[in-house]
């Protein structure tokens, strides 16, 4: 038995070398078979120039739809200061024919009439209050009645009614004074109601908004 520290020299044995080579080959073959078929390292390079261009085009915002000139505001009535209760303005001198649009701003408490983009009328209005507010939205005039009376509120007169909703919200004539309110309708002075009733066909759109500001050169719709 060799002692600790003895140095022994071993003679080279060809049989051991052959056996070692076979064992190494088997180990390498097993490693290769253990990988899933077709697995290989993939290197993803930068996108080609056409692909980058397509991505950039897709990221661009869609162009804005062209304005319909029939609804672009071309004139605002020259009214000094806020319109007072009971006050109204009307001027259609030299205004060409065109589609009619009616707007109501609940914050300003003002109704405006535009023909072909020209403001021809404006008035202070009464609005709904409490449990019967005036609704927001876009409403076509459904029907008209020059001598209408309320079927809900004690047969109250509603001259020059232009109905907007199935539950009775309408634009109609009334006494427009501070401290009064409606049950959801848009009340306008009687003389103004007569004028707007005469020129407004059934189907005319009424835009009721809260605080929306549009100026000359901007579209009403």
pLDDT single digits (tens) 93-149: 999 999 999 999 999 999 999 999 999 999 999 999 999 999 999 999 999 999 999
Q: 45 in a domain, yes or no?
A: no
* pLDDT tens, residue by residue, 143-177: 999 999 988 877 889 999 999 999 999 999 999 99
Q: How far is CA 86 from CA 25, 71, 113, 150, in A?
A: 104, 28, 17, 22
The domain of 119 spans: 69-209
Q: 62 in a domain, yes or no?
A: no
Domain count, the chain: 1
Tell me, what's the pLDDT at 152? 80
Question: Is the pLDDT reported for residue 190 higher than 70?
Answer: yes
Closest C-alpha among 157, 135, 147 to residue 209: 135
- Contact (CB, 8 A) for 220 and 71: yes
Q: Model pTM?
A: 0.70
Q: 36 in a domain, yes or no?
A: no
Q: 121 in a domain, yes or no?
A: yes
Q: Domain holding 74: CATH number?
A: 2.40.440.10
Q: How far is CA 185 from CA 17, 132, 168, 174, 180, in A?
A: 105, 9, 8, 10, 12
The Cα–Cα gap between 170 and 139 comes to: 10
Question: Is the pLDDT reported for residue 26 higher than 50?
Answer: no
The Cα–Cα gap between 193 and 125 comes to: 11
Closest C-alpha among 129, 221, 136, 144 to residue 182: 129
Q: Which residues does 103 contact at the CB level (< 8 Å), separation at least 6?
A: 111, 112, 114, 206, 207, 208, 209, 220
Q: 139 in a domain, yes or no?
A: yes
**Where does the pLDDT of residue 23 fall: very low under 50, low under 70, confident under 90, or very high at 90 and above?**
very low
- More confident of the two residues 126 and 67: 126
Tell me, what's the pLDDT at 45? 52
Q: 31 in a domain, yes or no?
A: no
First to last CA, the chain: 107
Q: 120 in a domain, yes or no?
A: yes
Q: 51 in a domain, yes or no?
A: no
């Amino acid at each position: 038995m060799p002692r600790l520290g003895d140095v022994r020299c071993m003679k080279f044995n060809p049989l051991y070398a052959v056996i070692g080579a076979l064992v190494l080959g088997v180990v390498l073959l097993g490693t290769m078979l253990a990988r899933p078929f077709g697995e290989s390292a993939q290197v993803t390079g930068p996108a080609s120039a056409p692909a980058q261009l397509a991505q950039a085009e897709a990221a661009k915002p869609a162009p804005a739809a062209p304005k319909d000139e029939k609804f672009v505001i071309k004139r605002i009535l020259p009214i000094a200061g806020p319109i007072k209760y009971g006050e109204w303005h009307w001027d259609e001198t030299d205004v060409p024919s065109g589609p009619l649009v009616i707007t109501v701003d609940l914050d300003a408490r003002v109704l405006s009439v535009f023909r072909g983009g020209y403001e021809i009328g404006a008035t202070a209005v009464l609005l709904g209050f409490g449990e019967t507010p005036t609704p927001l939205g876009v409403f076509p005039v459904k029907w008209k009645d020059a001598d209408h009376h309320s079927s809900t509120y004690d047969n109250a007169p509603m001259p020059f009614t232009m109905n907007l909703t199935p539950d009775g919200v309408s634009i109609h004539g009334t006494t427009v004074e501070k401290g009064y309110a409606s049950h959801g309708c848009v009340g306008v002075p009687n003389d103004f109601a007569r004028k707007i009733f005469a020129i407004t066909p059934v189907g005319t759109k009424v835009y009721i908004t809260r605080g929306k500001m549009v100026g000359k050169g901007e579209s009403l719709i």
